[in-house]
Every structure is written in C-alpha cells, then in structure tokens.
Chains A and B, each alone.
Chain A
Amino acid sequence: MPATKAQALVPGLVIKEADPAGDADALERLAVWALQRYAPIVAADPPDGIVIDATGAAHLKGGESAMLAGMIDRLVGSGIVARAAIADSWGAAHALARYSNQPLMIVPPGTSADRIMPLPMVALRLGPETLDGLRRLGFETIADLASKPRAPLTLRFGPELGRLLDRAMGALDEPIDPVAPPDLITVRQGFAEPIGAPETLARYTNKLVIALCAKLEEQGLGAKRLDLLFHRVDNRIEAIRVGTALPVRDVKRLTRLLCDKIEKIDPGFGVEIMTLSAPVVEPLGAKQSISSLIDAPEADITALIDTLSNRVGEHRLYRFAPLQSDVPERSVGKVAPTAPQTGEGWPDHWPRPSRLFPHPERIETVALLPDNPPVSFTWRGIRRRVKRADGPERVFGEWWKRDAELIAVRDYFQVEDEAGERFWVFRQGDGVDATTGSHDWFIHGIFG
C-alpha cells in the first residue's frame, strides 16, 4: 500500500522509514538482556522474536509460568507488547507464540505437536513462494499439511518444507546458537575425546571455575550468575545456570554450586566443549580479613543462601518482615534473606498463635452476642467446651484496600478448652450490626 493511501485511511498516521538493521541490533540487545536475566541459551529469532531454551533455567524465577508472566510484564513496562509460549521445540514455540489465541501459553511436554495442528501454515516459517504454492493447492492449516504424504510435497516444494514441519513437531532437533555479549567473561575447554562421566565433568568444571575466577579477579569483579554450557557431539547444548545473592569469586563455593547440578545434565554420546561464562557480574573488591582484636561478627550465611536457593528456588527462601496492618494475615510480609535487617518487630500487645491457618475455618459455636467469647465450639467434628477466654480484640477492615472492607469488623478471641489447648477464633462482624459482618465464627490459628 502506498504511504499516501495509508495516510488517507488513518488520519494522523506517523510514518517512519523502515530500519531493518536497527531492528536487528535492537533484537540482539533484547536477546542479551534475556540472557542475563532468564536463561543461559538465548538467541534472536529475526525479524520479531527471541528464542530461549528454558530447560533448567526457570527454577531461579519461580517456575515456568511465573518466569513467562514476569517477562511479559517487564517487556510491557518498557513499551514492548509481547506474546510468549513454552513448547517442546523451537518450531512449536515459534508457531504458538505468534499464532495461538492466547498471549501467554505453556504447553505441557509431549502435546506441542497436537497444539500446533489447527494453526495456519504461515506459522511454520515457510518462504513466501512455498506458502503461495501451498495455498493454491488448497492447504490452510498445519494439520492439512501433516496429514498428506510427504514425498509429493517434497518433489514439488523441496526438502525445506518437510524439515520445517519435522522441526515444529519436535521430530527433528534444531540447535540454538546462543547470543554472546561482546564483553562476556567466559572460559572454554575443548576435549580431544568427548567426555561423559559425571566425575570427569565435575573435574573440568572445577578447572573452568579456577580459570574464570582468575579472570574475574583481574577485573575486580564477582559473578552473580554463572552459565555452564556443555556442547554435545550431536550439536545439542546442555546448560546449567546458577545464581548467587551477592557477587562471588570463591572457587570452592562456585564449584559446589555448579557440581550440585551436574546430575541433571544428559551428556548423550559425549561432551566435546565446555564453556563457563558469567553473564551478570558486579564489582567485588578485596576485603580485610577479620582480626581477633574485635569480636567475631555475625556469621555470613550468603553461601548457605546460595546453595539453598539453587536447590529449592529463590522465591522459596525468605525472611518474614512486619507490614503495617492489623489484619493478621496481612501483617507478615516476605523479604529476601539478604535484605538489610531492620530490627523492627510486631506490636506486642496481644498474644499471637504460633500456627496461623492460610484460610480461616468455619466453626459452629454457642456464644452470647455481642461481646462474649463462645461457650463451646465445634471444629472438625469435635466439640470443645471453652474453659477460659480472652478478648475481644477488634480488627477493622482496611477500607483503603477494598471498598467491601469499609465497615467490616472481626472480633478475635483467645479461647482455651478443658484440655488446655488454646485457639484463636474470630467472629465476623461486631455482634450488633449485621452490615459489619455475617456473625459467623471462624478459627484462625492455634496457640502453643
């Protein structure tokens, strides 16, 4: 369409010169950004995509769905509207990300081939002539194409069509050539004979870490992310990524973190090249060692935090910190274990239960309204008589958070049954005005 026609159709249209080289550069930069943040194997997928090998990389970001959602959010935050999909093969993910009806999609392993069937043929990355020819023959979707015998199609359109189809179905491997930023600190070890035993891999991992740490030391840096890539003889790349909470240059610690993950590597027929790189680095200066003249400082647990967060995931490791809220479940927030210590605590006016249920459980009670604690209550089929009780502690709804909480009230009581077990129960509402709550009773926690 000529520009003048487009301007006539859309008033106020902004027209810019196409800049394919600039776009490719920007895509490359975006790929490097994704490499530093998400996974060790990332490549630009021109003209408009990035391909990421997410195998074994999602654990640092809280799982695949959390990683994908976070990625989209960040891209939207910087003005890029993006769609993403995780599938078994590059081809399938490429097709689903661009042509499925959901902007964010995670396909369970083994089902990608079925999911791409209803998509249009263009999702296969076919050339324009091939696409035209296929359309003329009446093909519409990938399913149409996959159900036909391969030989006549190959005869007419060449071998590329079959190859692309196989790649999308996951029948044919498609190696990703990872992007590498120019200033990446990296070390590499090639092998004359392919290696495969875990002990050998671990030994060479140690050697690579020693070499990398020497390079980091020259520049006064410490690594926050390490990628160890195993180039297999069959042209696949297996990767390990570990993260640390603070920059580290300690050979023993980094080796340990990497070697913990070696068991997850499938060396196949052998590994011929290993590369170790530090995509995220931060300055790390020399520090004076502790002298016995002063008291031993608080023990440093960042090494432990790194080991554990690489084992169970970063988001599963936290400290609790007080939040400004009277609603019990909102008064506790999670902060990173390396967050600075504030010395703050919770108000100490009332005893708090040591176990707080994630969801309050409904109980049947016999209680006098409005101010009295229950005389007896039934929880999980067991009736308990209340011997002693304390309360009420009134908690008002937080109207600035939700409109529905404008007049909501909870009255908390600490009750003790005949056996001495202590529970934290509350009544929804103030016991007089039914608009403040339903006057139902709930159990919210157990005291020690």
Chain B
Amino acid sequence: MRSPPAIDALREKVRKLETAERRTIDVLPFGVGAIDAKLPTHGLSLGALHEIAGGGNGAVDGAAAALFTAGIAARTRGPVLWCLVRPDLFAPALEQAGLGPDRVTYVEAGDEKSVLACFEDGLRHNGMGAVIAEVARLSMTASRRLQLAAESSGAMGLCIRRWRRQSEASDFGQPTAAVTRWRVSALPSAPLPVPGVGRARWFVELIRCRAGESAEFELEACDAQGRLAVPPHLAYGQAQAGDGSYRATA
C-alpha cells in the first residue's frame, strides 16, 4: 500500500523536526522484507528506545522476548549491557541467538529504580551497541529520559517489559516515549517429518510504531546470527500476493 505523496512529505518534515541535532538516523534492518516494509525507517532505528514484551505467559517469564531482543542486539556492533533484576537468564541460549558471552556485560541491579538508573547510564555511554533492561514499570517520564539518553549516544535501548504477575501486564497499554513497541508470543514450532521440535516460531506484534502503523507477523525465531525469517508457507503466500502472478508448484 502506497501512502499519498502529501503524507510522505509531511512525515519527512516531522522527521526533520524530531532529529534536528542528528544528521542521519542509523537503522538496523531486520533483513525480513515483511517487517522492514512496515517500519517507517525500514528497520529499527539506533539511538532510540524500543519496548518488547512477551504475550500470554511470556509477560511473566519473558523467555521469547529475551531471545527476540538478544537477536536484535546480536546484529548491532559494539558491546552490550544487560540490566537485570531477576538473574534467570541462561547465557548459552543467548549465544544460540547470536549474542556471544564476550559481548554482554550483565548488571544485577537490586530493584526497579536502580535498573532504570543503570539503563540510563548505559545509554548515555558512547560506543555501546545495545543496552537492554528488564523492567516492569516504565513511566512516561522515565521512558522520555531513556529516549533522550539513547538519542545522545546513538546506542539502541531495548526495554524488555516483564511483570511479576499476569494481571500486571495490562500496564503495557500505558503510553511511553518508546519509538516502537513489540509483543512476542510463542507459536507451535515448525512441523518436522519426524517426531521432534522444529525451529521455534513466534507471533510478533508491532503494537505501536512512531510515524507508522501497527502490524503483526508470524516469524521463525532467531537463528545463530540473530536473524528472523518468514516461515516457508507464508513466504510463498506473500510472494504470490505481492506480484499477483501465479506460479507452478512442483
């Protein structure tokens, strides 16, 4: 779907207003056409705050959200800082998503408040690839500070929203200054011809996106380089819908 030229011009104007000090916006593309097309910058902008939460039980355990985030962080350049409250992250899994143990420094902050303080310190530091924090509450003021900190250094801020209880997850509806907001839920894995569990699949929702529309995707989980993929049956379907031509299937 193409937007009218007037809207495009307006968007360009707004973008210039927003990023007066910065010359260019650096972008980290997902490398998956379906997602990048939905993002106005054709990828996740560096120097911005992004929120990721898990859907369903993932709101409490944050397992899929952590892997999704690790996949993004793995594709950035530079060291990574991960601020935790609950130390239950299993590093071998992050390595399988492309984020090796040498790149990540973990900070076990005692409470929510010091997590946010460490998160901001990390974002203000020049040269970080990505700064990740697991927080439950994120107020508008706090997120605004984090967004400004990220803009000042150009590091990508990834905020994993993880709550103590399922009932608290409704907090995700509250507005924040984050540029994009994602929700990742587990889907049944890719079917195999033999008994076993195939490549994990996720239902990824782009709930909010500044200057863009929300969208949802069915994706295959991160590979060893942190790249996502579109499941084969959908990839074929999209190609067909995209160019409108029929193809013979063998």
Contact = CB atoms under 8 A, between A and B. Distances in A.
B200 A337 contact: no
A446 interface: yes
A387 B114 CA distance: 41
A417 B68 CA distance: 20
Contact of B64 (A356, A388, A448): A448
A131 B97 CA distance: 72
A304 B122 contact: yes
B188 interface: yes
A29 interface: no
Overall SS of chain A's interface? mixed
B98 to A, nearest CB: 11
B63 A448 contact: yes
Contacts of A389: 195-197
Interface string A404-447: 00000000001110111110000000000000000000000111
Contacts of A345: 92, 95, 100-101
A421 B57 contact: yes
A189 interface: no
B43 interface: no
A353 B101 contact: no
A351 interface: yes
Contacts of A332: 90-92
A355 B57 contact: no
Given A311-B114, A332-B91, A355 B63 contact: yes
Chain B's interface size range is 35 or more
A446 B65 CA distance: 12
A311 B97 CA distance: 30
Interface stretch (B105-113, B173-181, B208-216): B105-113
A242 B185 CA distance: 43
Interface string B63-90: 1111110100000001101000001111
Contacts of B93: 351-354, 447-448
A191 to B, nearest CB: 32
A319 B197 contact: no
A335 to B, nearest CB: 9
Interface in B109-136: 109-110, 114, 117-118, 121-122, 125-128
A273 interface: no
A355 to B, nearest CB: 5
Contacts of A303: 125
B61 A305 contact: no
Given A354-B66, A419-B186, A421-B57, A304 B121 contact: yes
A47 interface: no
Given A298-B78, A343-B102, A316 B121 contact: no
B96 interface: yes
A308 to B, nearest CB: 5
A310 to B, nearest CB: 11
Interface stretch (A10-18, A31-39, A97-105, A320-328): A320-328
A357 B60 CA distance: 13
A349 B209 CA distance: 37
Given A342-B102, A352-B92, A390-B197, A312 B108 contact: yes
A107 interface: no
B67 A414 contact: no
B240 interface: no
18 contacts: A298-B78, A298-B79, A299-B128, A311-B121, A312-B107, A312-B114, A317-B108, A331-B92, A341-B102, A343-B102, A345-B95, A352-B96, A354-B67, A354-B89, A356-B89, A388-B188, A390-B196, A419-B188
Interface of A: 298-301, 303-305, 307-308, 311-312, 316-322, 328, 331-332, 337, 341-346, 348, 351-358, 387-390, 414-416, 418-422, 445-448
